Chains A and B, each alone.
Chain A
Amino acid sequence: MTTLFSHIGRYFIMMRHVFAKPEKMRMYRIELFHAIETLGINSLPIIAIISLFMGAVITIQAAFGFTSPWVPLYAVGVTTRDSIILEFSPTIVSLILAGKVGSNIASEIGTMRVTEQIDALEIMGINSSAYLVLPKIIACVIINPFLIIISMFLGVFGGWVLGMFAHVITSYQYVYGLQFEFRPYNVTYALIKTIVFAFIIASVSAYHGYYTNGGALEVGKSSTKAVVYCDILILLFNFILTQLLLA
């Protein structure tokens, strides 16, 4: 329990430094573009593949579930749409990003810590936590919503194409279902969640990297811890935000 509180304390101390005034804007901008590329663009392929197949599986499962004659055929489209927009894309994809991006951030910063690169920054008079962490947080908060929207489209698209391929839906029914009582607010809700999760992923994994202490072995441990903490926090905030925004 005390370790939990000391984690929280140190996390907020770090965050206070992270949001201090940057020394040289231009240098931060370079880091930001770099982070958008490594943390955002490079995550696209995995997200695309997962979304396509998850969309397909949700569609097929829904089609098999709805065997009762009382359920209209377009319900499959409605179910796929809502599962993907409400839960799969914002939450599950964020959990996957926590695994990919979170471990990347933690091991990068952790390696810099144990090889004294962070000390080298500090000695130059640079606010190392701001320089290393802020661009990554901003990159994730900007880019993750785009990733999640792409994931939504691909999920729905995957359900459509593979559902037809598997002969469980007709194109007309599926598309009708997608449009049936569509609530734009659901997308807003999903994007709010995404942004909060993006902040958690970047800041919590940066925290674990930044306070790594020891050698290469500890860098590995930090990156595992980063993913575990991110996942738990994402699930916790998923619950809290759903209560706040949907209930």
Chain B
Amino acid sequence: MIELINVNKSFGKRTIISDFSCRFEQGRANLIIGESGSGKTVLLKCIVGLTEVDSGQVLYNGRDFIKMNGREKQNIRKEMGMLFQGGALFDSKTVEENVVFPLSMFTDMGEEEKIERANFCLSRVNLKNVNHLYPSEISGGMKKRVAIARAIATNPRYLFCDEPNSGLDPKTANVIDKLIHDITIEYNMTTVVITHDMNSVMEIGDKVLYLYNSRKWWEGAKESILGTDNKELQEFIYVSKFLKEIRERELGDAGKK
């Protein structure tokens, strides 16, 4: 379980995260949604300690991550898998080497076993026959999927995904959503996913946090998100006329009953 207590972060005079508290439970997919530029990536980086917070606590199973020393941090991080918004694949390594890398670093698996594991992870993100290509030789969506395969290779306890299905077609996006959902339950991970995509929210959002105006504006399960009366969240969800009509129809139906 990860818990944030009164986290604040600003860059110069610009406040990005203010007084943010929340809990990410184990075995559940926790989603962070919000407009572009609202600070989702910054928040995630504060959680994993890549960006220093100005004040507040980030607790991993009750222990303050920010106050840990280098070694302790490293030990927690060995249990993390993270997908960066830009993929962050090692571009001097092939697809296969990228996925194998964390395994070579932290396990005593044999060569064959590692390759097998890598192929398994790659197949779960629907990638085949790209093992020996370099990141510069594959498409944007493929990079993203390789990065997901790398993030899950070591079966992390904490999984962080920054927009796992941006740039993917709806079908592949759905595969990724399902994958995240399944492994979260299968391995009892604490998963935090940033997304813009309402499809994913409805698919996997065990818990949804809406980031607005540098604050936690709304929090709840996916079931309650469509009927929300939070004005900003409504505006965020119901951008299209089509969806608005559906909502009105649903509300109308509910009224009749």
Check if B104 sits within 8 Å of A27, measured CB to CB: yes
Q: Mark B78-100, 1 if CB is under 8 A from A, else 0.
A: 11111010101111000000000
Give B78 Cβ to nearest chain A Cβ, in Å: 4
Q: Mark A1-30, 1 if CB is under 8 A from B, else 0.
A: 000000000000000000000011011000
A115: interface (CB < 8 Å): yes
A217 proximity list for chain B (CB < 8 A): none
Check if A126 sits within 8 Å of B105, measured CB to CB: yes
Check if A125 sits within 8 Å of B78, measured CB to CB: yes
**Distance, CA A91 to CA B148, complexed state (A):** 48
**Distance, CA A125 to CA B78, complexed state (A):** 5
Known: A120-B82, A122-B77, A123-B80. A24 touches B88 (CB 8 A): no
Closest residue on chain A to residue B150 by CB atoms: A120
Task: From the candidates A24, A115, A119, A122, name the one contacting B105 in the complex (CB within 8 A).
Answer: A24
Closest residue on chain A to residue B86 by CB atoms: A116
Check if B105 sits within 8 Å of A120, measured CB to CB: no
Known: A124-B102, A125-B106. A119 touches B88 (CB 8 A): yes
Q: Mark A85-127, 1 if CB is under 8 A from B, else 0.
A: 0000000000000000000000000011001110110111111
Closest residue on chain A to residue B78 by CB atoms: A125
B74 proximity list for chain A (CB < 8 A): 125-127
Closest residue on chain A to residue B147 by CB atoms: A120
Check if B91 sits within 8 Å of A115, measured CB to CB: yes
Give B2 Cβ to nearest chain A Cβ, in Å: 14
**Distance, CA A145 to CA B157, complexed state (A):** 47
B90 proximity list for chain A (CB < 8 A): 112, 117, 120
B201: interface (CB < 8 Å): no
Check if A120 sits within 8 Å of B78, measured CB to CB: no
Check if B82 sits within 8 Å of A123, measured CB to CB: yes
B75: interface (CB < 8 Å): yes
B75 proximity list for chain A (CB < 8 A): 125
**Distance, CA A29 to CA B101, complexed state (A):** 14
**Distance, CA A124 to CA B48, complexed state (A):** 11
B239: interface (CB < 8 Å): no
Give A15 Cβ to nearest chain B Cβ, in Å: 15
Give A60 Cβ to nearest chain B Cβ, in Å: 44
Give A66 Cβ to nearest chain B Cβ, in Å: 52
Check if B48 sits within 8 Å of A123, measured CB to CB: yes
A26 proximity list for chain B (CB < 8 A): 104
Give A117 Cβ to nearest chain B Cβ, in Å: 5
Interchain residue pairs with CB less than 8 A apart (24)? A23-B106, A24-B104, A24-B105, A24-B106, A27-B105, A115-B88, A115-B91, A117-B89, A119-B50, A120-B90, A122-B77, A123-B50, A123-B80, A123-B81, A124-B80, A124-B102, A124-B106, A125-B75, A125-B76, A125-B78, A125-B106, A126-B74, A126-B105, A127-B74
